[in-house]
Amino acid sequence: MKEWKCVSVGDHKNVGKRVEEYQKNGWHLHTYACAGIGAMMAVNHYLLFEKGE
């Protein structure tokens, strides 16, 4: 059975670091999405990880 985990990353500069952390623990990035208001103000970054079968 697969496990799923959604992680919110505040600054886009931390996305790569967060992906590396989770991959070291056996998680695989499934989806990366971002959403925000206006001209790049208050942008939220979301990572959806999966683990298992």
* Structure confidence by residue, pLDDT tens digits, 14-49: 999 999 999 999 999 999 999 887 666 788 899 999
pLDDT of residue 28: 98
Q: Which residue has the higher pLDDT, 17 or 11?
A: 17
C-alpha span between 31 and 50 (Å, rounded): 9
Global confidence as pTM = 0.84
CA-based nearest residue to 29, from 40, 20, 39, 37: 20
C-alpha span between 36 and 20 (Å, rounded): 24
Q: Which residue has the higher pLDDT, 11 or 14?
A: 14
Single-letter code of the amino acid located at 24: K
How far is CA 26 from its chain centroid?
A: 14
